[in-house]
Amino acid sequence: MKWYKVKKLFFISSLLLLILSSILLIPVFSSVFTYYPLVVSLQPVPPPIVLQDPSVPGVSVSLGSEWASASITVLLPYSLVISQDAIYYTTFDSGLPTNWVDPALACWTGSATAWVGGSITCSAGLAYQVAYYNTPIVSNTLTFYVGAYVMSNDLRAGRYVGITLYDRVTGNYYIAAIGNSNRLNILECIAGLCFLRASTGNLGLSTNTWYFLVAYWTPNTLYAYLYRTDTGALIGSTSYRDGSPIGFNTVGVVAYRARGWVDELVVAYNDPRNVYVDNVPSGWVVRLYNGTVLLGSATSSGTRISFTVFYPQDGQHSTILRSGRIEVYDSYGSLRASRSDVIVTGRVYILQPQGFDNRVLNVVNVDSKPYYGLLSLRSPPSYSGFSTLQLYLCNPSTCSTALDIIAGSSSTSEIALPASQISYIRLVAVFSSGASASIQIWLSFSTRPGQDGVVVSYPVDIVLR
Amino acid sequence: MGNKVKREIVASIAAIVAVLMMSYAFASVFVYYPVNVNLSPVSPPIRFLDGSNANQNDLGGGGSPYASNTIGVTIGSDGASLTLTLHPTKQHNYYRNVSLIQNTDGKAYYITIRVNTAASLPSGSVARLLIYDRPSGGAKVADVSLLATGDTSATATISASGTPGSVWRIDLYIFIPEGSTPSATSANIQLIYSPSNEAPPNPVPPS
């Protein structure tokens, strides 16, 4: 092809392209655009609603720097209550209590030789010297324990010092006693005659040494256990089953042909070597004190905690802690419950959740006009162990409907936040031991009812444990 | 190159030279064609209106006697300009239905929002102009940060008068973090509309 023919073709193509472009460009520049000015002026003001710590025990509040946000930690309240008490106990610190009967006329008297405090002692001859509590407290249809520290100056054959299960009507009784050639023995006494029903072998017992003796009755068998008081070790045990049991109704002490001492008598439904604490969440710590002396500390694994406190003889360990105190700490080390008490072994304490119904955050309107507030969930809550978990927004005269976490509601109703007054967020919780929750909410307030006008939202985080 | 071709080139050059000479010779001649531009002003087909919360109570206030701040909404006499004056506080502020945009024409228009001058708030703040295609509820048709310049795309269409979507609502969301010290600030914006779906020229009108 000749070069001028190529140029001609190029010329024609360019011309067509120019025409096409012109056609395409016509609509682009055919429109009309109208411009309206719009100015948004922002004039920030201090928060008209500020948050405030209500100073409620167990509620700690961390506020944002301008009181427009809050993180709340609620330590759910617990108390230590007795769920199973001892049936009876006496320290014998003042000798034989006035409500005890000593038919032998003052054989059993007070003694300074004691496990702790004072004890009772009796130097018995050829008669069984019994003193008993003059009130029906047990029966042969019950299962129970009797524990006491016992000591004898004579452990030879036919000598006994121990405790009794006594029938106040007939005068019949069982005996669990040390003696009779260093043995642990069970005797049955009917109409003034006592029969040896069971005994261990020679246990190598020592005179004038404190032992801890436990009589355990479960229909219709009497068990006897003997423990060392220096190591707590079991020395020996024996039992006697009675097809026609004595109809005993109280407990007592006994000595025969020996001088005996008895101290710290405890009657309970549980082993009198221990103090028990139930319902403590896993990971929490329980401490047991007598006065300022720490006798035991245990970390819960979710099951019953027991403290064995019957030994050694140091003036603090005993089956009756005269200045007892139990403290329960959560896994963060916060003290959650405590109880000062005369603590008796065999008793069961339970860590019992208390209901919570209190304000957790104040909402203060510092403006001179009312606002309209409500609470709403900011994210799905996490919780466990609650049967009731509700949040309310309250003003001085009324509360909103509940933001009911358990029922799954997502917001409260709206209430007025009156000018220059303190409203508040109220928490209602019913829970079981170890309950915890994490809740993120908005506190929203508006200038007009119905969350209209301008709505301001403050983040509020609530942790319950 | 043949003689024939040479001749054609010479002839072409001669013709061009002749034309140029003739043009120069007649440059002092003017030809006048009549062009008439008829301007027939019409009422603005797109108008700003007060929202339900225009000039209602805003956050805060003061003075003695006490006077509340208000959600300031000032609209030009022909509905062709809008000034909003707001009093946000710390945390999350949502201004609902402060102004409306109404199409009074029988045809749809394409809307562009252009932020010419951004507002200035402390780091971490958010300020957004939100436009919905109904006075209540509706779908969001524009979400414009007031803290940055730029245009929305011109794909949002305000429906013809009398049809659903012919009245739009303006909301605003403002977040100011606690611990910051914001000052008064403003954003200069343009609402640009056109009957055609095109990006508006820039800059128009001349500043």
Summarised one tens digit per residue, pLDDT across range A17-59 is 444 444 444 444 448 999 999 999 999 999 999 999 999 999 9
For A59-93, write each residue's pLDDT tens digit. 999 999 999 999 999 999 999 999 999 999 999 99
Q: Which residue of A has its CA nearest to B115?
A: A38
Q: Which of B57, B84, B85 sits opposite A448 (nearest CB)?
A: B57
Interfacial A residues in 309-348 facing B (CB < 8 Å): none
* Mutation target vs A (from B59, B84, B121, B147; most A CBs, 10 A cutoff): B59
- Taken in order A338, A341, A344, A346, is the CA torsion positive or negative? negative
| Complex ipTM over 0.90 | no
Q: Between these two residues, B23 and B41, which has the higher pLDDT value?
A: B41
Over residues A11-15, mean pLDDT: 48
Over residues A307-328, mean pLDDT: 98
State the pLDDT at residue A26: 43
Residue A31 and residue B198: Cβ atoms within 8 Å? yes
Does the pLDDT at position B178 exceed 60?
yes
Does the pLDDT at position B78 exceed 50?
yes
Instruction: Output the DSSP codes for A228-244.
Output: ESSS--EEEEEEEE-SS
Does the pLDDT at position A15 exceed 80?
no
For B154-177, write each residue's pLDDT tens digit. 679 999 999 999 999 999 999 999
State the pLDDT at residue B155: 74
CA distances from A99 to A92, A160, A270, B172 (A): 12, 24, 24, 83
**Counting beta carbons within 10 angstroms of the beta carbon of residue A445, is it exposed (0 to 12), middle (13 to 18) or buried (19 or more)?**
buried
C-alpha to C-alpha distance for B86 and B73, rounded to whole angstroms: 9
Q: B14: alpha, beta or left, given left = phi > 0 and alpha = psi -120 to 50?
A: alpha
C-alpha to C-alpha distance for B119 and B173, rounded to whole angstroms: 13
A455 interface with B at CB cutoff 8 Å: yes
Q: Which residue of A has its CA nearest to B181?
A: A44
Indicate the pairing of strand A293-299 with strand A173-179: unpaired
B79 three-state secondary structure: coil
Over residues B28-40, mean pLDDT: 90
CA angle B169, A442, B68 (to 5 degrees): 60
Over residues A383-402, mean pLDDT: 98
Measuring CA to CA, which residue among A149, A88, A92 is closest to residue A118? Answer: A92
Indicate the pairing of strand B82-86 with strand B72-75: antiparallel
Identify the band that residue B151 occupies on the pLDDT scale cut at 50, 70 and 90: confident
Residue A32 and residue B194: Cβ atoms within 8 Å? yes
B131–chain A nearest CA distance, Å: 13
Q: Are B174 and B125 in contact (CB under 8 A)?
A: yes
C-alpha to C-alpha distance for A313 and A299, rounded to whole angstroms: 25
Q: Which of A28, A39, A48 sits opposite B84 (nearest CB)?
A: A39
Percent of chain B with pLDDT over 70: 85
For A193-238, write each residue's pLDDT tens digit. 999 999 999 999 999 999 999 999 999 999 999 999 999 999 999 9
Pair of tokens at residue A222: 């009497």
Does the pLDDT at position B191 exceed 70?
yes
C-alpha to C-alpha distance for A306 and A332, rounded to whole angstroms: 22
State the pLDDT at residue A103: 85
Q: Between these two residues, A343 and B25, which has the higher pLDDT value?
A: A343
Q: Which of B66, B188, B192 sits opposite A33 (nearest CB)?
A: B192
For A134-155, write each residue's pLDDT tens digit. 999 999 999 999 999 999 999 9
A27: chain B residues, CB-CB within 8 Å? 196
**Residue B89, beta-bridge partner list:** none
Q: What is the pTM of this model?
A: 0.84
DSSP letter at A411 equals: B
A1 interface with B at CB cutoff 8 Å: no
**Residue A122, beta-bridge partner list:** A260
State the pLDDT at residue B13: 75
* Mutation target vs A (from B89, B120, B125, B180; most A CBs, 10 A cutoff): B89
CA distances from B86 to A454, B33, B73, B169, B171 (A): 9, 55, 9, 16, 11
C-beta neighbour count of B115 within 10 angstroms? 22
Q: Which residue of A has its CA nearest to B184?
A: A43
Q: What rounded mean pLDDT belongs to chain A? A: 94
Q: Which of B46, B178, B182 sits opposite A65 (nearest CB)?
A: B178
State the pLDDT at residue B18: 58
C-alpha to C-alpha distance for A40 and B116, rounded to whole angstroms: 12
State the pLDDT at residue A95: 96
State the pLDDT at residue B190: 95
**Residue A216, beta-bridge partner list:** A145, A223
Q: Which residue of B has its CA nearest to A66?
A: B178
**Residue A78, beta-bridge partner list:** A353
Residue A42 and residue B174: Cβ atoms within 8 Å? yes
Over residues A97-116, mean pLDDT: 93
Identify the band that residue A7 occupies on the pLDDT scale cut at 50, 70 and 90: low
Over residues A426-440, mean pLDDT: 97
Q: Are B59 and A48 in contact (CB under 8 A)?
A: yes
- Taken in order A4, A10, A16, A21, is the CA torsion positive or negative? negative
A311–chain B nearest CA distance, Å: 60
Over residues B27-38, mean pLDDT: 87
A191 three-state secondary structure: coil
Over residues A157-177, mean pLDDT: 97
Q: What rounded mean pLDDT belongs to chain B? A: 90
Over residues B145-160, mean pLDDT: 89
C-alpha to C-alpha distance for A236 and A118, rounded to whole angstroms: 27
Over residues B116-135, mean pLDDT: 97
**Counting beta carbons within 10 angstroms of the beta carbon of residue A321, is it exposed (0 to 12), middle (13 to 18) or buried (19 or more)?**
buried
Identify the band that residue A401 occupies on the pLDDT scale cut at 50, 70 and 90: very high
Q: Which of B8, B90, B183 sits opposite A47 (nearest CB)?
A: B90
**Counting beta carbons within 10 angstroms of the beta carbon of residue A420, is it exposed (0 to 12), middle (13 to 18) or buried (19 or more)?**
exposed
Q: Are B110 and B194 in contact (CB under 8 A)?
A: yes
C-alpha to C-alpha distance for A179 and A258, rounded to whole angstroms: 9
C-alpha to C-alpha distance for A351 and A330, rounded to whole angstroms: 12
Q: A9-23, A441-455, B111-125 — which is least confidently predicted? A: A9-23
Q: Are A420 and A405 in contact (CB under 8 A)?
A: no
State the pLDDT at residue A9: 53
State the pLDDT at residue A105: 73
B44: chain A residues, CB-CB within 8 Å? 34
State the pLDDT at residue A23: 42
Measuring CA to CA, which residue among A263, A391, A285 is closest to residue A329? Answer: A285
